[in-house]
Chains A and B, each alone.
Chain A
Amino acid sequence: MSVLIFIDQSEGHIKKSSLEVITYGVAVAKQLNVSAEGIVLGTVANDALIQLGKYGVQKIYHIANEKLNHVDAQLYAKQIADTATANNSSVIIISQNQTGKAIAGRVAAKLKAGLVAGAIALPDTTNGFVVKKSVFSGKAFANVNITSAIKVISLNPNSFHIKQTEGTAEIVTVNANVAEPKVKVTAVNKVSGEVPLTEAEIVVSGGRGLKGPENWGMLEELAKTLHAATACSRPVADAHWRPHHEHVGQTGIQVAPNLYIAIGISGAIQHLAGVNRSKVIVVINKDPEAPFFKAADYGIVGDAFEVVPKLTEEIKKLKTA
Chain B
Amino acid sequence: MKILVCISKTPDTTSKIAFKDGNTKFEDAGVQWIINPYDEWYSLVRAIELKEKDASTIIHLVTVGGADCDPVIRKALALGGDEAIRVNTDSSDSFYIAAQIAEIAKQGNYDLVFTGKETIDYNGSSVGAMVAELIDAPYISLATKFELNGTTAIVNREIEGGEEVNEVALPVVVSCQKGVAEQRIPNMRGIMAARTKPLKVVEPTVVDTLTNIVSFELPPAKAGVKLVPADNVAELVRLLHEEAKAI
Contacts and interface: CB of A to CB of B under 8 A. Distances in A.
B132 A140 contact: no
Interface string A125-137: 0001010111111
B93 interface: yes
B113 interface: no
Interface stretch (A52-60, A83-91, A269-277): A269-277
A244 interface: yes
Interface stretch (B60-68, B72-80, B204-212): B204-212
A73 B141 contact: yes
Given A139-B17, A282-B236, A299-B228, A117 B125 contact: yes
**Interface size classification for chain B:** 35 or more
A176 interface: no
A99 B126 CA distance: 12
Find the residue from B120, B133, B213 having the highest chain A CB count within 10 A: B133
Contacts of A188: 159, 162-165
B225 A294 contact: yes
Nearest to A302: B230
A280 B222 contact: no
A117 B95 CA distance: 11
B228 A196 contact: no
A148 interface: yes
Interface string A169-185: 00000000000001111
Interface in A281-321: 282-283, 293-303, 306-307, 310-311, 314-315, 317-318
A105 B123 contact: no
B107 interface: no
28 contacts: A74-B139, A77-B133, A98-B142, A98-B158, A98-B160, A101-B175, A105-B125, A105-B129, A106-B139, A112-B210, A115-B94, A135-B216, A137-B123, A140-B19, A140-B218, A141-B217, A142-B217, A182-B138, A183-B168, A189-B163, A189-B165, A244-B178, A251-B13, A258-B246, A269-B14, A298-B228, A314-B236, A318-B241
